[in-house]
Amino acid sequence: MKFLDEAKVWVKAGDGGDGVVAFRREKYIEFGGPDGGNGGKGGDVLAEAVEGLNTLIDYRYAQHFRARKGGNGAGSDRTGAGSEDVVLRVPVGTQILAEDKETLLADLDAPGRRVVIARGGDGGHGNAHYKTSTNRAPRRADKGWPGEERWIWLRLKLIADAGLVGLPNAGKSTILAAVSAARPKIADYPFTTLHPQLGVVRLNASEEFVLADIPGLIEGAHEGVGLGDRFLGHVERCAVLLHLIDGSQPDPVRAWRTVRGELEQYGHGLAGKPEVLALNKLDAMTPQARASRRQALERAAGRPVMLVSGATGEGVPEVLRALAVEVAAARAARQEAIAPSPSAAAD
């Protein structure tokens, strides 16, 4: 299945049904009076986050969605039938943006969450609605109200607890394959990863978290160089970033500064997220190179640097434990934020 994280679609809610002009006509009932019913409501267009989806490919070719018009009213005060809603099923983590691609309409970040994108029109009134003591035979009936229509953007931001960032060929895909059941493409050339990959990391029976790997960043990514920074949106929701640096390269400090610069240019709070810094490809370095490059990177970054090898597994448990600590802290903070305060619970 192809990965698609952005799609533009047109939605049109159903128009309301028309009201009718009708009069009661029965034998032996001389002035039956008006009995024209109201029109039914047009169908809404909704979006719902469902589990089991991780791409917007369904909206690559089907881009127009229209709900049906409500039923017209009828005599004997019969109201027209309301039309069924049209539901767009999208992956969890999908954002709905207005046509300007900036105004956020909804963020479907939990399974089962749904939102009305376009509301159906109300049905028009039949002439029975306008009957009064002074207007006993109204001949007025209204057309149904039009349903809303608009162009919207669907943008998927994958739900992950931790994200992998780094230059191309830093070994991110190797790490993901080593710690999870994900099987990303691994090769010795840049930009092997062309779209985000997710893997579930299980530390033990009770601890697990989701790790996301995105295509590598290069200098100028925020200006569209390489694959650009469009995939950074998939790590915006992460609690912590694992910044991998190729330790086999002679200047790891420059690599670290390049990626940090792109994160700062991208914004959206990525540069301020907790970061675990790891020097990868430990198996390809001499003991002297390990010590010197680690020391230089710690001096530049001002934080501890871990040593890891995705190929041999050396240092991997320590890195995963560091990520798990940050993920657990973020989850605890979210639970505390949504839990009611003691005073509110007492009220």
Say whether 89 sits in a helix, a strand or coil.
strand
Q: Is 173 annotated as a binding residue?
A: yes
Q: Is 281 annotated as a binding residue?
A: yes
Q: Is 36 annotated as a binding residue?
A: no
Q: Which residue has 């032996």 as its token pair?
A: 28
Q: Is 287 annotated as a binding residue?
A: no
Directed axis angle between helix 252-266 and helix 287-301, to 10°?
30
Q: Is 194 annotated as a binding residue?
A: yes
User: Both tokens of residue 65?
Assistant: 């969605």
Q: Pairing mode, if any, of strands 45-50 and 162-165?
A: unpaired
> Burial code of 192-227, b = ≥16 C-beta within 10 A, e = fewer?
bbebbbbbebeeeeeeebbbbbbbbbbbebbeeebb
Q: Is 195 annotated as a binding residue?
A: yes
Q: Is 214 annotated as a binding residue?
A: yes
What are 96's strand-pairing partners? 106, 154
Q: Is 206 annotated as a binding residue?
A: no
Q: Is 143 annotated as a binding residue?
A: no
What are 23's strand-pairing partners? 34
Q: Is 332 annotated as a binding residue?
A: no
Q: Which residue has 């200047």 as its token pair?
A: 251
Give the count of beta carbons closer than 10 Å to the beta carbon of residue 283. Answer: 14
Q: Is 168 annotated as a binding residue?
A: yes
Query: What is the Cα–Cα distance from 347 to 345, expressed in whole angstroms?
Result: 5
- DSSP letter at 16 equals P
Q: Pick from 91, 65, 110: which is nearest to 5 by CA?
A: 91
Q: Is 138 annotated as a binding residue?
A: no
Q: Is 125 annotated as a binding residue?
A: no
Q: Is 221 annotated as a binding residue?
A: no
Q: Is 311 annotated as a binding residue?
A: yes
Q: Is 282 annotated as a binding residue?
A: yes
Q: Residue 311: exposed, middle, or buried by beta-carbon count in 10 A (0-12, 13-18, 19+)?
A: middle
Q: Is 315 annotated as a binding residue?
A: no
Q: Is 108 annotated as a binding residue?
A: no
Q: Pairing mode, if any, of strands 149-156 and 94-97?
A: antiparallel
Q: Is 172 annotated as a binding residue?
A: yes
Q: Is 5 annotated as a binding residue?
A: no
Q: Which residues are annotated as a binding site?
A: 166-173, 191-195, 213-216, 280-283, 309-311
Give binding residues for GTP as ranges. 166-173, 191-195, 213-216, 280-283, 309-311
Binding-site residues from annotation for Mg(2+): 173, 193
